[in-house]
Amino acid sequence: MDYHIGQKLKGRITGIKPYGAFTMLDNQVQGLIHISECKSGIVHDLGNELEIGDEVIVTVLDIEQYNGKLSLSLRQNDMPLKQNLSKNTSLRKHFWTNNFLEYGFAPIANHRDEWVKEALQRIGK
């Protein structure tokens, strides 16, 4: 299944750790509900809120671009979405390099002279 941010899905709790609850969405995809996304307010013990096997409705908060891991929320189900989220919308993207500059992983020394020249032009020298 193709998931997108803002999508509401039915899942089943498969594991509970001190930091969050693992939720199986289908037979192949599992996401994590961080403890801060379980409910509004402070949650001291996740075991008091959820149990393994519970059926839950979750909202997809984020999809890690490189490995496809899903960040899920129970808390967002009670809150209206602030923006109209379509299938192609991505609230956050995780880049290891600056995607806008196209410098990639080249060493800094290879671009130092170019950057100094550009900086001097910006300050008017």
In a domain, 85, yes or no: no
Q: What is the DSSP string of 23-52?
A: EESSSS-EEEEEGGGSSSS--S-GGGT--T
In a domain, 121, yes or no: no
In a domain, 98, yes or no: no
Question: Which among 8, 111, 23 is positioned nearest to 59, based on CA atoms?
Answer: 8
Q: How many structural domains comprise the chain?
A: 1
Please write the tens of the pLDDT for every residue from 47-82. Answer: 888 899 999 999 998 888 777 788 999 888 765 544
Backbone φ and ψ of 113, nearest 5°: -60, -40
In a domain, 61, yes or no: yes
pLDDT truncated to tens, each residue of the chain (125 aa)? 588 888 898 999 999 998 999 999 888 888 999 988 888 778 888 888 889 999 999 999 888 877 778 899 988 876 554 444 444 544 555 544 444 555 555 677 777 888 888 889 888 86
pTM for this one? Answer: 0.60
| Domain with 60 in it | 8-80
In a domain, 104, yes or no: no
Q: Which CATH number covers residue 68? A: 2.40.50.140
In a domain, 113, yes or no: no
Which pLDDT score, from 0 to 100, does residue 16 have?
92
